């Protein structure tokens, strides 16, 4: 059979085969010394869209992306001609060796993160980042080089769309991608799954069937990789876990931010070798606490003088008093003080216009309005620092709690509940508690917590989905259908709500 020709290329041997495509090692018929990887997609649809995507991929130019050299149609099949990489995909490599060490995983994240950053800058989302689609070239001079392949072509091929409905690809899918709304951050989630598997040889989320896998991806928190691979240092573990955050606001925002985080830890390396600086968890925690101190110092330095000057400038005692009550009430979870502070703050905002003109007339009042603008800006900067400090506090609390209470779920629930009493406005903390309650089968408790979330954000997607799911699990089928109908009336169509609604209706009929 071999060799045989397709257009200007000679195919030498099969080097890979999927459900609906075959990859051959081949060369130009007039230049046998130059090898290519030639992929023939057997079943295709929407050929115009596929060729448009292929034309777009020709614009990608990155050292860690397998370049598309040529493409054409042959006997009704799409043929993709790519650079030939002398190596194997990471899934095959990992199956035949021990887990990757920390420097290797860092180097992997740097190279593939850089490839994704380049692709995202061209408005291309990969959608199928997994170990099978990453090639490891045979190392030269101790350097491992990774290549990302299959960029976006398959998503328009009916064959690969079918494969995305199987558990194999779902293992790498982000929650929002399962819902049919992939984004750049979905690629980062998949990259995080790859890194997790490389360092542990285990998947962060598994299930006996597709539904169980989807439930675990949506609700479960993965086992800390350092409990599987005890050689893993905390700083890299923190980055991997940041890639696996379910909520987009907590996940790293971009591949560029990932590279920046790796750079902060002196992780940019050209060769696979241990970095000079590696943090333990305690070292990382101490470093973060120093950052918190700096943020709080800037907060107090900017806000307190500004509030006092603002009060003096407008002859207004309500501004500083209201600000103090808001801060103290929020920090201690004392709602009466918080609400009173808000009321005093509102009164203070209208004090100058409502009261001052009837009491005194000062020429500097006009200039005082200009001063107000600057003071408000300084207060805004101070609040930004306060928010950053609270984010770090939350991160330290949650990770340290999990590390100290691993497999002691009741202790984690108690710690989260106590932390929420202080940070009751933090919807993400409530959602994290809901995830843990659901995984423990504590659906009634989860329903109570979800309703607290919906008081703050009634259209919160994870909260509404969790509420419908909990209603289903406790047998409140009518309530489940009502939640699904209400949310579907807002967003139109959503796979999870529609599927859960149909399953609930079937249960009612039975």
313-340 pLDDT, tens digit per residue, is 555 666 667 766 766 665 555 556 666 7
Q: 297 or 305: which carries more pLDDT confidence? A: 297
The predicted model gives 403-423 an average pLDDT of 66
> Looking at the structure, do residues 409 and 485 belong to the same domain, yes or no?
yes
End-to-end CA distance of the chain: 57
The answer to whether residue 51 is domain-embedded is yes
Instruction: Say if residue 113's pLDDT is above 80.
Output: yes
Q: Is residue 256 part of a domain?
A: yes
* Residue 60 contacts residue 68 (beta carbons within 8 Å): yes
Does residue 397 belong to any structural domain of this protein? no
pLDDT confidence band for 349 (50 / 70 / 90): low
Residue 429 lies in a domain: yes
Given a cut of 50, whether residue 3 has pLDDT beyond it is yes
**Any bridge partners for residue 37, and if so which?**
25, 82
pTM for the predicted model, two decimal places: 0.65
Instruction: Tell me which of 235, 250, 275 is where a domain ends.
Output: 275
Of 140, 135, 145, 153, nearest to 15 by C-alpha is 135
Inform me whether the pLDDT recorded for 278 exceeds 70.
no
pLDDT of res. 305:
78
Q: Which residue, of 366, 392, 418, is where some domain finishes?
A: 392
What is the helix (H) or strand (E) element at residue 32, kind and residue range?
Answer: strand 31-41
**Confidence bin at 36 (pLDDT 50/70/90):** very high
Are 236 and 300 in a shared domain?
Answer: no
| 59-77 pLDDT tens trace | 788 999 988 888 888 887 8
Average pLDDT over residues 104-122: 93
In terms of domains, do 372 and 410 share one?
A: no
Q: Per 3-state DSSP, what percentage of the chain is helix, strand, and coil (rounded to 5)?
A: 60, 10, 30
398 falls within a domain: no
Could you tell me the residue range of the domain that residue 73 belongs to? 4-83
Is the same domain home to 287 and 379? yes
Q: How many CB atoms lie within 10 A of CB 348?
A: 21
DSSP code per residue over 376-440: HHHHHHHHHHHHHHHHHHHHHHHHHHHHHSTT-HHHHHHHHHHHHHHSTT-HHHHHHHHHHHHHT
What are the tokens at 334?
């004392």
Q: What is the set of active-site residues?
A: 128
Quote the mean pLDDT of the chain: 78
Which H or E run contains 254?
Answer: none
**Which of these ranges, 25-34, 162-171, 396-405, 461-470, has the smallest mean pLDDT?**
162-171
Residue in the structure block whose two tokens are 């509030």: 307
| 47: CATH | 3.30.200.20
Confidence of residue 185 (pLDDT cuts 50, 70, 90): very high
Lowest mean pLDDT among 196-200, 260-264, 309-313: 309-313
Whether 159 and 54 share a structural domain: no
When divided into structural domains, the chain yields a total of 4
Three-class SS state of 129: coil
Residue 438, domain member (yes or no)? yes
Helices (H), 423-494: 427-439, 443-456, 461-473, 477-491
Output the pLDDT for position 137. Answer: 87
- For residues 183 and 192, give the distance between their C-alpha atoms in angstroms, rounded to a whole number: 15
Of 54-63, 76-85, 108-117, 293-302, the one with minimum mean pLDDT is: 54-63
Q: How confident is the model at residue 271 (pLDDT cuts 50, 70, 90)?
A: very low
Let me know whether 224 and 321 are in one domain. no
Last residue of a domain, one of 338, 360, 392: 392
Are 110 and 237 within one domain? yes
Q: Does 400 fall in a domain? A: no
Residue 399 in domain:
no
**Identity of the highest mean pLDDT range in 81-90, 111-120, 296-305, 436-445:** 111-120
Are both 220 and 123 inside the same structural domain?
A: yes
8 A C-beta contact, residue 146 and residue 135: yes
Cα 102–chain centre separation: 21
State the DSSP string of 328-370: HHHHHT-HHHHHHHHHHHHHHHHHHHHTHHHH---THHHHHHH
Which of 33, 39, 91 is closest to 68 using CA atoms?
39
The reply to whether 219 and 324 lie within a common domain is no
CATH code (residue 204): 1.10.510.10
Residue 195's contacts (CB-CB under 8 Å, 6 or more residues apart) are 105, 108, 109, 240, 243
Residues 71 and 91 in one domain: no
Whether residue 254 sits in one domain with residue 132:
yes
Tell whether 242 and 136 lie within a shared domain.
Answer: yes
The tens digit of pLDDT for each residue in 233-247 reads 878 888 998 899 887
């Amino acid at each position: 059979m071999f060799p045989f020709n397709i257009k200007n290329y000679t195919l030498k041997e099969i080097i890979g085969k999927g459900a609906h495509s075959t990859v051959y090692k081949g060369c130009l018929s007039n230049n046998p010394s130059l090898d290519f990887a030639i992929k023939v997609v057997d079943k295709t649809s929407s050929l115009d869209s596929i060729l448009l995507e292929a034309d777009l991929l020709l614009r990608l130019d990155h050292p860690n992306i397998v370049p598309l050299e040529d493409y054409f149609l042959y006997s009704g099949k799409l043929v993709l001609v790519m650079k030939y990489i002398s190596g194997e995909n990471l899934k095959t490599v990992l199956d035949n060796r021990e887990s990757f060490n920390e420097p290797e995983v860092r180097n992997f994240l740097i190279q593939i993160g850089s490839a994704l950053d380049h692709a995202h800058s061209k408005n291309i989302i990969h959608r199928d980042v997994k170990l099978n689609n990453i090639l490891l070239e045979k190392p030269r001079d101790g350097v491992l080089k990774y290549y990302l392949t299959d960029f976006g072509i398959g998503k328009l091929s009916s064959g690969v769309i079918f494969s995305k409905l199987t558990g194999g690809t779902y293992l790498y899918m982000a929650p929002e991608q399962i819902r049919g709304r992939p984004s750049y951050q979905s690629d980062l989630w998949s990259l995080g799954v790859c890194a997790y598997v490389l360092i542990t040889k285990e998947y962060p989320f598994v299930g006996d069937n597709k539904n169980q896998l989807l439930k675990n991806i949506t609700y479960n928190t993965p086992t800390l990789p350092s409990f599987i691979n005890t050689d893993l240092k905390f700083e890299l573990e923190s980055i991997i876990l940041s890639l696996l955050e379910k909520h987009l606001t907590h996940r790293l925002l971009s591949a560029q931010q990932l590279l920046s985080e790796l750079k902060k830890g002196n992780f940019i390396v050209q060769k696979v070798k241990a970095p000079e600086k590696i943090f333990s968890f305690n070292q990382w925690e101490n470093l973060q606490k120093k950052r918190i101190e700096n943020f709080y110092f800037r907060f107090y330095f900017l806000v307190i003088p500004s509030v006092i000057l603002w009060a003096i400038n407008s002859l207004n005692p309500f501004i500083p008093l209201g600000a103090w009550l808001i801060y103290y009430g929020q920090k201690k979870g004392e709602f009466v003080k918080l609400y009173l502070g808000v009321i005093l703050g509102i009164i203070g905002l209208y004090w100058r216009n409502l009261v001052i003109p009837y009491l005194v007339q000062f020429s500097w009042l006009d200039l005082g309005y200009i001063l107000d603008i600057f003071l408000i800006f300084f207060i805004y900067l101070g609040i930004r620092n306060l928010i950053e400090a609270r984010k770090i506090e939350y991160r330290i609390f949650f990770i340290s709690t999990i590390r100290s209470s691993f497999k002691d779920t009741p202790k984690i629930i108690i710690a989260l509940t106590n932390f929420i009493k202080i940070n009751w406005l933090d919807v993400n903390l409530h959602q994290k508690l809901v995830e843990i309650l659901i995984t423990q089968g504590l659906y009634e408790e989860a329903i109570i917590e979800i309703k607290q979330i919906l008081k703050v954000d009634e259209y919160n997607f994870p909260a509404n989905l969790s509420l419908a799911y909990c209603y289903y699990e406790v047998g409140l089928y009518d309530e489940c259908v009502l939640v699904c109908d209400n949310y579907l009336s807002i967003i139109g169509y959503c796979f999870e709500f529609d599927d859960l609604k149909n399953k609930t209706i079937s249960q009612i009929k039975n």
